[in-house]
Amino acid sequence: MPKKTIHDLGELRGKRVLVRVDFNVPMDESGNVTNERRIVAALPTLKHLLDVGAALVVMSHLGQPEGDPTAADFLQKNSRLSMKRVAERFRERLGRPVHLAPGVVGPAVQQVVQRLQPGEVLLLENLRFHPGEKSKNAEFAQELASYADAYVNDAFGTCHRSDASMVAVPNAARGKPRVVGLLVAKELEILNTLLTNPPRPMLGILGGAKVSDKVGFIRSLLSRVDRVLIGGAMSYLFLKAQGKGIGSSFCETKAKEGQKTPLEMAQEILELGKGKIILPIDHLVVKDLKDSSTATVVEGEIPDGFAGVDIGLKTIALYQDEINKAATVVWNGPMGKFEDEPYSKGTRAVAEALANAKATTVVGGGETAEAVEEFGLAEKMTHVSTGGGAFLEYVEGTPFKALAEIDDK
């Protein structure tokens, strides 16, 4: 059922709203924010709530802090993951004062929360600085839920997780309005259209390194699309499954516990997608990954001593033609080592083809979203998802506990 959104909250003037956002932004070694896309994506929801007179308590996790959060030296060791720098960038983009809380829960934080006035914003410290976030502690969740009169989930990127702020907190807030923000609402609208009634023909584009990480997504996609284009390192696994030579290209071999080998998965997927799957017909290959001067293009099989790093020019032309014929395109995973400029041509060409296409174009978060942003093409896509893993799992059909806690319309 459709979920209630912030537009279903009713009168908010003078009330406090607890908003779970995804400010898990990339940072450099010094702790500076290097990409603010997730902060910017949350602004429409936050600005709307402020404009109608609410006070906001905003919470997010950041990174993967190391060690035991209860240890005396934990904060010192993980100081780079404090929300301080995020608060500064958030303040700049919001154009309003943003107060940084002295922690996540506790008397000092409660005092700051109680003093919040309509139109003010309090950003809690990194949720993972408290053990209750990962342990899903009920008392921790209850205290967070007590901070506000309503709960808003606007963190699509973590909707597939069961951390306290995503599941236990809205559960503890039963009896209060629990809704999704504009970002999550848009993600669900786009994805539900893809899964139910997409304009056809529908084209899937898959890349990245490992098939095992996306096997459920690939199976789900194959049941819905008319064609699938495959690139990236995973294409070498599929070519090997066809008995073709891949030289010294990366090829996933290790099976996860309880799973089939990647090669067996690839063989099954090729059979399942017979008539739909299109693999590269030529490749950009190198003798030495660190020396782009050794790069050359080969057709067919990759010779010994060479490793594939990108799709070739003929494959680019083939893939562009398929994109031009599609009415809906879903893309997840780069076509090669796009982070290295000499090997980025295939990923860039696919991004440009989507940007110029008349089709509905959906980019599935993660590295793919980073790529289209790096190329300056994000604004030309119909939708760029803010969730990598969440995007994959939603298309796969995995139920999200976090969304189950949100009120239905």
Among residues 31, 103, 216, 389, the one annotated as catalytic is: 389
When computed from its CA atoms, the radius of gyration of the chain, rounded to whole angstroms, is 23
To the query of whether residue 366 is one of the catalytic residues in this protein, the response is yes
CA distances from 293 to 285, 336, 338 (A): 11, 17, 16
Among residues 16, 161, 186, 210, the one annotated as catalytic is: 210
To the query of whether residue 300 is one of the catalytic residues in this protein, the response is no
Nearest by Cα to 118 from 207, 216, 182, 50: 50
To the query of whether residue 210 is one of the catalytic residues in this protein, the response is yes
Q: Is the peptide bond before 201 cis (omega within 30 degrees of 0)?
A: yes
* Residues 6 or more apart in contact with residue 247 via CB below 8 angstroms: 285, 302, 303, 304, 305, 306, 307, 308
Q: Report d(CA 409, CA 407) in Å as an integer.
A: 7
Among residues 207, 231, 247, 366, the one annotated as catalytic is: 366
Q: Where does residue 174 rank: exposed (0-12), middle (13-18), buried (19+ CB within 10 A)? A: exposed
Amino acid letter at 258?
G
Among residues 38, 178, 186, 345, the one annotated as catalytic is: 38
C-beta of residue 330 within 8 angstroms of C-beta of residue 341: no
Amino acid letter at 66?
E
Nearest by Cα to 169 from 183, 155, 182, 186: 155
The pair of structure tokens assigned to 162 is 């069961």
Residues assigned a catalytic role: 38, 210, 366, 389
